[in-house]
Chains A and B, each alone.
Chain A
C-alpha cells in the first residue's frame, strides 16, 4: 500500500471519528430539564465550610434568622427570639420540627456547637469578642451574648451545623473536612452526589419544615470562567457575575433576566487628605458636587434602585429608604466653592491654579470591572471644572495608605473600616472630631436603630466635610433564565439564598 493510500485512510478515519463525536449527545440549547436548576457556581465544593465563604451552604443548611426584603427579621431555625434592651443578649427559641437529613433532630446544642466552632481562632469566622457566652436552657432554647456589632450584624444568614457529625474533628483542618463534600444539613435541599472538580447535585428535601421545594433538583457546576459560554449553550440556568459588556448583551437576550443585589462594598474616590490639595473641605465638597453620580450609575449600567450615598449606611436604611438625600450634582456651586478656596484659571489653559500651582493630581484606579469607565467619566467631569486628573491603574486591593493623591476603588467599609479610614488617626489624613467620636462607637454599638442613627449622622457630617467622594454600593449581578421565577432585585437576587421559594415556569 502506498503512502498516499495510507494517508487517505488515516484522514478518512479521522473524519469519521470527528463526525461520530461531533454528532454525539449535546446539551440542549434551552436549558436544563423542567424540574432542575443548574447554576454556574463560581466557588468549589468546599464552600459549604464556614472557613471558605460561599452561598451554596444555604441549600443544605438552615440559618437561625434571615432578613426580609423590608429589612425585618424572619425566623428559619429560630421560631422566635427576644433580645436584651442593649441588643447584646439574644434568646432563641428553636423550631422543634426540624431534623438533620439523617433523621437526627436539630437542637440548641447544634447551635451552641456551631457558634463555638466559628469562634475558634483556627476557623477564623468570628473575632475573639464576637460571641461572649452561649447558654443552652433546653433542647430548643439558648441564649447568646454578643460582644460587638459584628456579632449582632452577623446574626442573619449564619447557618447551624450538626454537632453529632462534626464534634471531634480538628478545627485546624476545617477546610479539608470530608464532610463538606458530602454534607448532611437541615435545609431545603439534600446532598445527592459530588463529582470532584465538576459538580455537586442536590435534591429537594421532602421533610423540609416549610414544605418540599418546588424545584426538584439543583446542580452546582464548577465552571470558573466558562460560565458564560455554558449559559449561552444551555448548559446552565444561572450565571453569577460577568463583565458589564456581557451583562448589557444578556439583558437584551429574551431568554434571560438580569438581577442585582446590593453589597456593603462602596465605590468612591478616596482623597489623600494629608495633601494640601485636598485639605480644604470646600475643595472636597466641590469635587463631589462636580460629579454627576446619578448619571455615572447609568453609565456603568447599574440598576437605578441603587442609591447614591454620602457616607456609611446599612442595608436596613436602603430597604427603608432611610438614607440622607445625597449631595446634588451642582456644578455652579462647585465652581463657587473652588473659587472660595482660591482656585482660579488665571492663564486660561483650562486648569485652575492657586499660588502658581495647578490643580493636577493622579488617581490610582484599582483593577476591576467597570473601574476604567468610572475613572474616565470622573476625569471628564472634573476637567470641566478646571481640575486635571491623571489616571493610573493599580492592582486590586491597593490599601489607602502610602504615597497616593487619590484612589478610585471599591471599599468594604465595615464598622471598624470606617473608623480606621476616617476616624481618629485616619489613614487618609481626615480630621473631624464629631465624626471620629461617632465612628468610635460603630464597632461596638449593637442596637440596630442606634447604629442607623450614628451612620446617618456621620453621613450628614460627610456631606459638609466629605473625606472622600462616595458613589454607590457595588451591585452583585446574576443572570437567570426566564423560566426561573421568584427572584427580584435588590434583595432577592441570589437563587441560592431563596431556592426553596423559587419555581419554574417555561415562558409561553
Chain B
C-alpha cells in the first residue's frame, strides 16, 4: 500500500467526516431546545453522538469508496476520468488537494490528542501532590481544609476528593454531594469528555467547544439526578448546591458579581419535577444516522463518485 494511497484515503475520510460535521452542527442547532425534554443521561448521549458523527460518516464514506478495490462494487475508475481516484487496482498520482486536506486533518487531530495527553499528565501530577496529604476513607480521599469542596479527577482511574469540612456538614448536605461525585466516577464522565474533545478535532472548533460544554452540563445534571435518587429528595440536592456555592462566595476571588449559569441552571432543574423521559429526539437522530450510513452502503457508487468529485473540485 503506497503512501499516496494512504494520503488519498485520509483525505476521502476527512471530506466525508466534514460532511458529517456539518450535519451534526445543524442537528445541534435545531436540537438544543428539544433535547431538554429527555433525561440528562440521554442528553449526554446525544451530545456524544453528535461529537462522534464525523467519525462515523468518515468511516462510512471511506468504506464506500474502497468497495470497488475489493471487488465488492462495480469498478468506477475506468468510467470517470475527470476526478482523482482512491483505488488499489488503479494507482494514481497524488493530487495536491488530497495532501493538503490530509495534512490539515492530521495536524488538528495530533494537536488535540497532544493536549489531552498533556492534561492527563497534569491531572496525575496534581493527584500525586494531593494523595500524600489525603486520608482515604472508603472511596473518598479527604483533604484538610475549611472550605466545603468535592471533586473528581483522573481519566482512567477517577478518584473522589472531598475536604474535611464537607464531611463535618450535616448528612442531608454531604450525602447528595458524595452521591453526585460517585455518579461521575461510575459513568466515567471525565473520560467521556476527553473522548468528545478528541472526536471534536473533526468538527469546526466553535462547534466542538459548544458540544463539549453541552456534554459537561448534561453530565452535571445527570449526577444531580443520581444524587436526588440516592437521597430521595431533589430539593435536598438543591440545598447542598446552594450551601456549597454560598461558601465559595465568601472566599478570596469570590466577590465577582455575575451569575454562575451552572449553579442556577442546576438548582432550577432540581426545583422542577424530573424531566420528561421522552426519547423521541434521540430516536429521530438515531434513525437519521442509520439512514445516512445505510445509504452509503446501499449506494456506494453514488457516495464514492461524490467524494472523489469533491476531491477533484478542490484540486
- A and B are interacting partners: no
Binding site for A on B (CB under 8 A): none
Binding site for B on A (CB under 8 A): none
